Chain A
């Protein structure tokens, strides 16, 4: 990662991570109308806009919580482009018409593009992970949920009324199962892309 200076607009990211209503309200006030305009001018309505915006803000919350979001460009451009690309992808999925994302390259600087790439990658990884997690059996799901909520494996064992050794082993195997699936999906994707 390049060591670029963090933009003052990082306050929006930090505010989202802290669930600060004032910050969220000011994002809606300042930056949302532009997105709504764009979506409404591109085969969408206000409800679509509301959904896309909420999805993007939740994504930013998640990425900020994972400590991997350092804003190096103005929030305005970054947020608008994320919403725009998400909406165009949505259109692509639902219509048969090919939608090409044409970037008005003049208005975007490189660091914004790089950052958007990172956020979209984070989103993809998370979606892949969620899909695989849903494939797990109920026992694995419950055990993993407890393990990462409670953090102490002794307590998890007590809660599930099994031995410590058992939960430790089971946890490794459940994570192992996910590892295997995700590894396979990755290999498949790299075959597809080459």
Chain B
């Protein structure tokens, strides 16, 4: 191995060569194709190393997020049962919609029609700690005032987007609007899987406060790719 040559390459790339040595180096690049080709490879490897280690954490975060989304995508399809409550919810909403349409022209949509809190299931996945189990139970029993302090304890130790989301929903259920919106806004600013859902809940918060204009404005920012876009469209239609 031509040790001196590689040391020289590095010095050149670091801009450490004196003007004369630098000129010699550049002259050699032009005149000696083998030298030039080696230097090209050397530079390329630096670039590859930079890519490999420079973004290692980001890459890991991307891979984790990707697996999560992929699992969800590939698991959801065959389970028809998992979709049932959703259909029921849509059917119920449609029924309500019809009711509103025919019998009560002037009534505005209400929070209760659109809020279908999803079932929390944190503890299935791992041997979760006691607080988490309690929080899950309280949440699923809709005793949100009990769930809130438990979520707060958990978030102090381990802040995940999932827990934040369910904490936000609990706050909204108990009508702690300012706190709830702060939580959803934080999720909205992040990049987790709950990003869009948080925006939807921000809109629901406005709806619950009967701020229809505010609700509409937020709904209009939700992209059509959001998994629950049917509901967004429906609510927008209602608000018009």
Which residue numbers of A lie inside 8 Å of B, CB to CB? 16, 18-26, 28-30, 32, 46, 50, 53-54, 57-58, 61-62, 65-66, 125-126, 129-130, 133, 144-145, 147-149, 168-169, 171-173, 175-180, 182-183, 186
Interface residues of B in 35-73 (CB under 8 A from A): 37-38, 41-42, 44-56, 58-59, 61-63, 65-67, 69-70, 73
Chain B, interface size category, equals 35 or more
Interface of B (DSSP majority class): helix
* Complex: A114 Cα to B121 Cα, angstroms: 46
Residues of A within 8 A of B65 (CB): 19, 21, 24
Residues of A within 8 A of B3 (CB): 173, 176
User: Which of B87-95, B142-150, B205-213, B223-231 contacts the other chain?
Assistant: B223-231
Cβ–Cβ contact A125 & B55, under 8 A: no
Cβ–Cβ contact B67 & A149, under 8 A: no
Cβ–Cβ contact A18 & B7, under 8 A: no
Among residues of A, the one whose C-beta sits closest to the C-beta of B78 is A46
Task: Tell me if B191 counts as interface (CB < 8 A to partner A).
Answer: yes
Cβ–Cβ contact A21 & B9, under 8 A: no
Cβ–Cβ contact B54 & A148, under 8 A: yes
Residues of A within 8 A of B193 (CB): 21, 25
Residue in B10, B37, B53 whose CB lies within 8 Å of A175 = B10
Also in contact, A50 and B70, with CB within 8 A (given A22-B225, A175-B45, A177-B1): yes
Task: Tell me if B2 counts as interface (CB < 8 A to partner A).
Answer: yes
Cβ–Cβ contact A176 & B62, under 8 A: no
Cβ–Cβ contact B6 & A29, under 8 A: no
* Complex: A165 Cα to B3 Cα, angstroms: 15
Residues of B within 8 A of A46 (CB): 74
* Complex: A86 Cα to B49 Cα, angstroms: 25
Residues of A within 8 A of B58 (CB): 19, 65
Residues of A within 8 A of B62 (CB): 16, 19, 58, 61
Residue in A126, A129, A176 whose CB lies within 8 Å of B6 = A176
Cβ–Cβ contact B47 & A66, under 8 A: yes
In the complex, the 4 A-B pairs of residues with the closest C-beta atoms, listed nearest first: A176-B6, A26-B225, A148-B53, A172-B10
Which residue numbers of B lie inside 8 Å of A, CB to CB? 1-3, 5-7, 9-10, 37-38, 41-42, 44-56, 58-59, 61-63, 65-67, 69-70, 73-74, 191-196, 223, 225-227
Q: List 11 A-B contacts (CB under 8 A).
A: A24-B66, A54-B67, A58-B66, A61-B59, A65-B51, A125-B48, A133-B52, A144-B49, A147-B49, A148-B54, A178-B45
Among residues of A, the one whose C-beta sits closest to the C-beta of B9 is A172
Residue in B37, B55, B223 whose CB lies within 8 Å of A183 = B37
Q: Nearest chain B CB to A143's CB is how many angstroms away?
A: 11
* Complex: A183 Cα to B35 Cα, angstroms: 11
Cβ–Cβ contact B7 & A169, under 8 A: yes
* Complex: A30 Cα to B226 Cα, angstroms: 11
Among residues of A, the one whose C-beta sits closest to the C-beta of B224 is A26
* Complex: A177 Cα to B193 Cα, angstroms: 42
* Complex: A18 Cα to B1 Cα, angstroms: 40
Q: Nearest chain A CB to B69's CB is how many angstroms away?
A: 5
